[in-house]
Amino acid sequence: MKNEYLLLTPGPLSTTESVREAMLKDWCTWDDEYNKDIVEVIRHKLTKLATNHDGYTSVLMQGSGTASVEATIGSALGKHDKLLVVDNGAYGARMAQIADCLNIANLRIAPGEVQQPDLQQLEDILKTDQAISHVAIVHCETTTGMLNPIEKVATLAKQYGKVVILDAMSSFGGIPMDIGDLQIDFMISSANKCIQGVPGFGFVIAKQTELEKCQGQARSLSLDLYDQWHCMHTNHGKWRFTSPTHTVRAFYQALIELEQEGGISRRHQRYNRNQQTLVDGMISLGFEPLLPTELHSPIITSFYAPQQDEFEFKTFYELLKQQGFVIYPGKVSHADCFRIGNIGDVHPSDIERLIVAVQNAMYWEQK
Ligand SMILES: *Cc1c(COP(=O)(O)O)cnc(C)c1O
């Protein structure tokens, strides 16, 4: 079955037909052919994709990506711990919100949505606030498409002996990185972003010694990261509670297709070409990106809405959808923007067709 339109969104995104086809069979969660041959293979592949260092392990968690972020924050921080959150967008803010909700002490560095964190300010806080035990940051802040300087932030955090939590939800699988080199303790992502699977679960790739310290700390039964890992690890791929079997099987197929594409570096190149084609094309039509080029990620790009009175996002959206493209509304608070994603089964030729569709939509909207 073909899709009627291409999702140019940050996920769920357009998947291949073969990924969707992989969902057509039902699985028994007691069988080795599911636990050993699918779940365990996925866990192993994920850890390998994330790092070449030993001592890392992975755990899959039901729910959308936020459930995995909540499981990590709610399990990794003990009663007397404190979280420092870099908040320059909705997803950074969400991590602080999770900590608030779980009664975990936290402090935010909030430079605004179009700024990277001030490293001097970060260091001053790490120096003076002895209660801080963990530092959390988003890699690609999907709110704007900004790439955060995770290497510098993690290095600083480690210099002061902190545990580092990385929300790489929208970047893992699309941007090369080695979380062992970066000294990341917990990295979180989900099935329906750059690995190009369908929604239904998230995953955490963690330093095993840090994960083991989470035992007994969770503030939730179902979002207990340690228990989830322990069950999966000791029972060879068995999930604690009902596993999203079809989604997991589709994800397995998506991982194979990532390998067939040539791995993360090749996928990164494709996303980069998509983004370059998008930005060049949109600028040629008179649109202006929200961020300066050096802060762009290849994942998603925010554009200012045109200032003309005739422009209305809803109409623009519908006119594009009629032509086979779905874009995303903006999420920044201070400016009227919309966003266009480059991830998923999307190729430079699709973006070229999109630019023509945008030109048509602008013309029709003026009439
Ligand atoms: C998509 C995303 C999430 C998780 O969102 P869900 O809607 O819960 O899947 C978290 N952080 C970032 C940076 C994201 O892009």
In this predicted structure, what is the pLDDT of residue 28? 92
CA dist., res. 108 & res. 110, Å (int):
6
- Global confidence as pTM: 0.97
Place of tokens 């995104």: 13
In this predicted structure, what is the pLDDT of residue 307? 87
Place of tokens 């909207």: 365
Q: Which residues, at least 6 apart from 260, have a Cβ–Cβ distance to it below 8 Å?
A: none
Average pLDDT, the chain: 96
Number of alpha helices (DSSP H) and beta strands (DSSP E) in the chain: 13, 14
pLDDT digits over 32-42, tens only?
A: 999 999 999 99
Beta bridge partners of 186: 165, 206
63 in contact with ligand 1, CB cutoff 6 A: no
The band of 197, judged by pLDDT with boundaries at 50, 70 and 90, is very high
10 in contact with ligand 1, CB cutoff 6 A: yes
64 in contact with ligand 1, CB cutoff 6 A: yes
Mean pLDDT value across residues 92-97: 98
The band of 331, judged by pLDDT with boundaries at 50, 70 and 90, is confident
89 in contact with ligand 1, CB cutoff 6 A: no
65 in contact with ligand 1, CB cutoff 6 A: yes
Q: How far is the CA of 91 from the centre of ligand 1 (A)?
A: 7
Mean pLDDT value across residues 128-150: 97
The residue whose CA has the least distance to atom 5 of ligand 1 is 65
Q: Which residues, at least 6 apart from 14, have a Cβ–Cβ distance to it below 8 Å?
A: 3, 6, 7, 344, 345, 346
CA dist., res. 12 & res. 170, Å (int):
11
Express as a percent the part of the chain with pLDDT over 70. 100
Q: How far is the CA of 130 from the centre of ligand 1 (A)?
A: 30
Q: Which residues, at least 6 apart from 308, have a Cβ–Cβ distance to it below 8 Å?
A: 366
The residue whose CA has the least distance to atom 6 of ligand 1 is 65
Helix, strand or coil for residue 123?
Answer: helix
Mean pLDDT value across residues 280-289: 97
**Residue among 111, 120, 153 nearest 134 (CA):** 153
For the chain, report the end-to-end CA distance as a whole number of angstroms.
36
Of ligand 1's listed atoms, the one at least distance from the Cα of 190 is 9
The band of 332, judged by pLDDT with boundaries at 50, 70 and 90, is confident
